[in-house]
Chains A and B, each alone.
Chain A
Amino acid sequence: GAGVSQSPSNKVTEKGKDVELRCDPISGHTALYWYRQSLGQGLEFLIYFQGNSAPDKSGLPSDRFSAERTGGSVSTLTIQRTQQEDSAVYLCASSASGREETQYFGPGTRLLVL
């Protein structure tokens, strides 16, 4: 079946602009995660959605970052007033349920803030 998909594949934006990154999880997966991969910080957890529960936002680096998940499926990660340090690859993953399932990753969105 189809895997996790993300769009766009690459995004170039100017400092101060807002960006939206999209993630389509594997159909039927109730858990969805966002991670950020940067040269300096490695792979960092950002946010976790599980079913209809309140999301775990403990990894979001600032209030410029937010995410939502509509209808328990598609998720959008929004970065407001982008900064150069936001340049990174943003990875989305989904799993069949919560803690006990393997996470399957999408191909990521590479964000470059000029």
Chain B
Amino acid sequence: AQTVTQSQPEMSVQEAETVTLSCTYDTSESDYYLFWYKQPPSRQMILVIRQEAYKQQNATENRFSVNFQKAAKSFSLKISDSQLGDAAMYFCAYRSMLGSQGNLIFGKGTKLSVKP
């Protein structure tokens, strides 16, 4: 079974600085998807960024980028120019491309605080 591990329960960053959130996963599959979701206090899970495992190029969305290391099974999220609105829980998630397994497998999350 696949597992996702986020080793940092909490992180803090100064406004305008850069922070990196870590995520590792375990799988025997070669094709899959990886996601970072943000969950503010409103509870709504918001997609931050998505990476297909077959793509070597790291995904980027504005201030958010990932460092995808397939051999190491690592998928870290870098937030540049941090803003107060970035404060939230961040969840790393894995999704298989095989069979009928459509569900996401989540890590335990990292709580990000942004200091003004």
A89 sits at the interface (CB 8 A):
yes
Q: Give 1 or 0 for each of B52-67: 1 = CB within 8 Å of chain A CB.
A: 0000000000000000
Give chain B residues whose Cβ lies under 8 Å from the Cβ of A35. 103-104
| The one of A42, A59, A93, A95 that contacts B45, using a Cβ cutoff of 8 Å | A93
Interface residues in A64-114 (C-beta closer than 8 Å to B): 89, 91, 93, 95, 98-100, 102-108, 110
- Chain B residue numbers with a CB within 8 Å of A95 are 102
- What secondary structure prevails in chain B residues at the interface with A? loop
A102 and B44 contact, CB distance less than 8 A? no
Q: Are B100 and A56 in contact (CB under 8 A)?
A: yes
CB proximity to B under 8 Å, residues A38-67: 42-43, 45, 48, 50, 53, 56, 59
Is the beta-carbon distance between A48 and B45 smaller than 8 angstroms? no
User: B44 and A33: CB pair below 8 A?
Assistant: no
- Name the interface size band of chain A: 20 to 34
CB-CB < 8 A to A108: which residues of B?
43-44
CB distance from A63 to the nearest CB of B (A): 20
Write the chain A residue with the least CB distance to B44: A107
A59 with B102: CB separation less than 8 A: no
Known: A43-B106, A53-B100, A107-B44. 7 other contacts (CB 8 A): A35-B104, A43-B109, A59-B103, A89-B43, A99-B101, A103-B47, A105-B37
Which A residues lie at the B interface, using CB under 8 A?
31, 33, 35, 42-43, 45, 48, 50, 53, 56, 59, 89, 91, 93, 95, 98-100, 102-108, 110
User: 10 closest Cβ contacts across the A-B interface?
Assistant: A105-B45, A45-B103, A43-B106, A108-B43, A107-B44, A42-B108, A48-B102, A99-B102, A107-B43, A98-B102
Point out residues on B near A: beta carbons under 8 Å: 35, 37, 42-47, 50, 91, 95-97, 100-109
- Can you list 29 residue pairs at the A/B interface with Cβ under 8 Å? A33-B102, A33-B104, A42-B107, A43-B91, A43-B104, A43-B106, A45-B103, A45-B105, A48-B102, A50-B100, A50-B102, A56-B102, A59-B103, A91-B43, A93-B104, A99-B96, A99-B100, A99-B101, A99-B102, A102-B35, A102-B47, A102-B50, A103-B47, A105-B45, A105-B46, A106-B44, A107-B44, A108-B43, A108-B44
